[in-house]
Chains A and B, each alone.
Chain A
Amino acid sequence: DQQVKQNSPSLSVQEGRISILNCDYTNSMFDYFLWYKKYPAEGPTFLISISSIKDKNEDGRFTVFLNKSAKHLSLHIVPSQPGDSAVYFCAASEASARQLTFGSGTQLTVLP
């Protein structure tokens, strides 16, 4: 049973435009959410996180939004750059657990 779902396997965006990656979760005990970026042959790189007490967190070009009632989070990248082309994973954890549950990933391609 997939507790964290990324329903779009791929997304293509023009350079300079906004990229919006979506993630849904089913476990209401999740209280901490993260986004990771992964290039081929490398490990995932942490991008940004958000605690369930917030609904938005920004870091430069990256903003994560959390809608707890809908059990939905999204990552906005503005403006998108070709170097952002990678697989993006969302992940979640419960306060009492010491592990991350990952979504299946979305391949973002930013076209020049």
Chain B
Amino acid sequence: KAGVTQTPRYLIKTRGQQVTLSCSPISGHRSVSWYQQTPGQGLQFLFEYFSETQRNKGNFPGRFSGRQFSNSRSEMNVSTLELGDSALYLCASSFGAGRSVSPLHFGNGTRLTVT
């Protein structure tokens, strides 16, 4: 069974630009979550989608947005990039139904560098 796939693996952008990251969940998983990992803040929750609906959102500015498609694939977008957005962005999937949180299965992440 294929794992969670994130593309691209690495991105370099300049301040003010926008970026779109992509995530394909494990087959059969309907919930997709996004996390940001930085050395200073650790792993922080961005948002979670289930059946194309955002069910939960973390404490990030509106420049961070996401969506989920009918095939459960998800994208996240960051607009007007700032230097502080440089981080590893991790996508995770789970079945998402029933128990509110089942173990999340993470992809290998997209390393975003903002210059």
Q: Interface of A with B (CB < 8 Å)?
A: 32, 34, 36, 41-46, 49, 89, 91, 93-105
A101 to B59, CA, bound (A): 12
A98 touches B105 (CB 8 A): no
CA of A102 to CA of B58 in the docked complex: distance in angstroms?
Answer: 13
**Pair A97/B103 contact, Cβ less than 8 Å:** no
Which of A41, A93, A96, A100 has the most CB atoms of chain B within a 10 A radius of its CB?
A: A100
A99 and B103 in contact, given A43-B4, A89-B43 (Cβ under 8 angstroms): no
Which of B11-19, B72-80, B106-114 forms contacts with chain A? B106-114
Are A100 and B45 in contact, with the CB atoms below 8 A? yes
Contact A98 B103 (CB under 8 A): no
Task: Determine if A103 and B106 form an interchain contact, defined as CB atoms under 8 angstroms apart.
Answer: no
> Does B101 lie within 8 Å of A43, measured CB to CB?
no
Q: How many B residues have CB within 8 A of the partner chain?
A: 26
> Who on chain A is nearest to B9 by CB?
A41
CA distance A98 to B45 in the complex (A): 10
- B1 CB to closest chain A CB (Å) equals 14
Partner of B105, one of A41, A46, A97: A46
Contacts A43-B90, A45-B106; A95 near B4 (Cβ below 8 A): no
- Are A99 and B106 in contact (CB-based, < 8 A)? no
Q: CB within 8 A of B108: which of A36, A42, A46, A102?
A: A42
CA A103 to CA B72, docked complex, whole Å: 28
Chain B residue with the shortest CB-CB distance to A2:
B42
Mask, B37-49, CB within 8 Å of A = 1, is: 0000011110010
**Is B70 part of the contact surface with A, judged by Cβ < 8 Å?**
no
